[in-house]
Amino acid sequence: MGFQANPIKFGTDGWRGVIAADFTMERVAKLAPLCAKVLQEDNPHGKLMVVGFDRRFLAEDFALVASQALQEYGYDILLADSYAPTPAFSWAAYSQNALGALVLTASHNPAQYLGLKVKGAFGGSVSGDVTSRIEALLDTDLPKPTEVGTITKFDPWDSYTKQLASLVDVSAIVEGISVGKLDVIVDVMHGAASTGLGRILGCNINEINSQRDPLFGGNAPEPLARYIPELFREVKERGKNDSDALRVGLVFDGDCDRIAAVDSEGNYCSTQILIPIFIEHLSQRRGLKGEIVKTVSGSDLIPKVADLFNIPLSETPIGYKYIAEKMLKTQVLVGGEESGGVGYSTHIPERDALLSALYVLEAMVKSGKGIGELYGDLQKKTNFISQYDRIDLTLGSMEQKNQLQATLASKPLEEIAGKKVIDCLAIDGYKYRLEDESWLLIRFSGTEPLLRLYSEGNSLKTVHENLNWAKAEFS
């Protein structure tokens, strides 16, 4: 039997595939004009497209192929002259009044992958309806116009960094760094965040893993604790030399739309910890308005902090596109997901890790506190202390996954890890609240025999009891 590539299928944020197997020059050349055609349906007179790329293997070559294919079909292209964060290209689509942007990136996926993200004219990820319409055209041969378009190179950093700088008190952050009040260490994971904070702040920032490495040091460029041992070491070492500075380690994923942090004590801080800090900082110190949007896997501290400051809150399925849809309809102060993506009403409806990093630094310098202390204060104010963890569980087959999904739908669980189930939220998988006020979320991958298990409770012991119970029950 000959080799057969996987079909082009858009996931929660774009299409991704293994380079040279699924993700080929031919397929990208075919797909790019189809994306533009669908985007043009909402703007029949527009023909400007932005094309950008990250630092993955051959990403700039694929971007050129996409641009040339668009040009053949009469579109005018702004092609990036260097790598940049994905949100920089979303901003370019919005600020240049383009039909949208195509970004050659596989985000946080392992090194063998490349992908294509489609961004709309509004400056964010397009809806599932748009990607479905693109997929429906895959067997279509578009007629070529008589006139070809143009390709113009542009600097993707210039306007973008000026926009981000306008949203924070840059001088206060820079002064904090220059006088030694702030000590900032940044792990860019060999990705597109490299040089970003330095460009925005106009000062030297201590970056690690800043050189281009298409293998990402042998790990996926995802801001998880297990992938950032060097950042933990760096934060610890610098603490020995200067214990008085407000110290923070910041880490970005491969295309710089996800963030995590390490506090001065060396604790890993996911967006479960950062989002409550953003809510307090933007509402109380900056006086900004808008609702909070969290995904179903978000920490219970988020609604408690929203209540503390009398801010409305809504909950969505997992996937930033659901938050973006809310941002297009209403003013959203902070919209975030536990996997690292956070967006703000001050900016475009797009998760932006560099803007999140700036808000972390601004919150620290304005409060005079590190993120560990800021988080601890919020726990005290809400009288809520919790721990969180998640695991992925690989099942034997898609059939097993489908059978389990059907069983949970028809026979809801009544007890988990010896604890009574109080209620179940089913907007995305099954989120069970238990009698000890902990919760367990069970979600199913749409494309793999995979269970995603999430839990929060008053201790790591409780969290791991819930996760281990699910692992034993469903393996």
Start-to-end CA span in the chain (Å):
32
Q: Record the pTM.
A: 0.94
Of the candidate ranges 2-16, 174-188, 333-347, 425-439, the one whose mean pLDDT is the lowest = 2-16
Is 3 a domain residue?
no
- Residues 86 and 150 occupy one common structural domain: yes
- Residues 211 and 98 occupy one common structural domain: no
Is 4 a domain residue?
no
Task: Catalogue the E-assigned strands of 229-383.
Answer: 246-252, 259-262, 268-269, 291-295, 313-316, 332-336, 342-344
- Residues 144 and 285 occupy one common structural domain: no
- Residues 63 and 137 occupy one common structural domain: yes
- Residues 238 and 193 occupy one common structural domain: yes
Task: Catalogue the E-assigned strands of 15-159.
Answer: 15-18, 48-53, 76-80, 100-104, 113-120, 151-154
Give me the mean pLDDT over the 208-218 stretch. Answer: 96
Domain tally for the chain?
Answer: 3
* Domain CATH code at residue 294: 3.40.120.10
pLDDT 10s digits, 62-82: 999 999 999 999 999 999 999
Amino acid making up residue 102 = L
pLDDT 10s digits, 276-331: 999 999 999 999 999 999 999 999 999 999 999 999 999 999 888 889 999 999 99
Strand partners, 153: 79
- Residues 392 and 419 occupy one common structural domain: yes
Q: What is the DSSP letter of 156?
A: S
Task: Give the residue numbers spanning the domain of 420.
Answer: 387-474
- Residues 83 and 169 occupy one common structural domain: no
* Domain CATH code at residue 395: 3.30.310.50
Two tokens at 311? 């801010």
- Residues 339 and 430 occupy one common structural domain: no
Instruction: Report the side by side order of strands in the sheet with 268-269.
Output: 206-208, 182-187, 246-252, 259-262, 268-269
Is 9 a domain residue?
no
Label residue 448 by pLDDT band (50, 70, 90). Answer: confident
Phi, psi (deg, nearest 5) at residue 44: -55, -25
Position of tokens 């378009």? 149
- Residues 146 and 168 occupy one common structural domain: no
Query: In this predicted structure, what is the pLDDT of residue 2?
Result: 62
Nearest to 12 by CA among 287, 331, 316: 316
Domain boundary residue, one of 134, 156, 178: 156
Position of tokens 């041992």? 229
* DSSP codes of every residue in 313-339: EEEE-SSHHHHHHHHHHS-EEEEE-TT
- Residues 237 and 170 occupy one common structural domain: yes
- Residues 230 and 351 occupy one common structural domain: yes
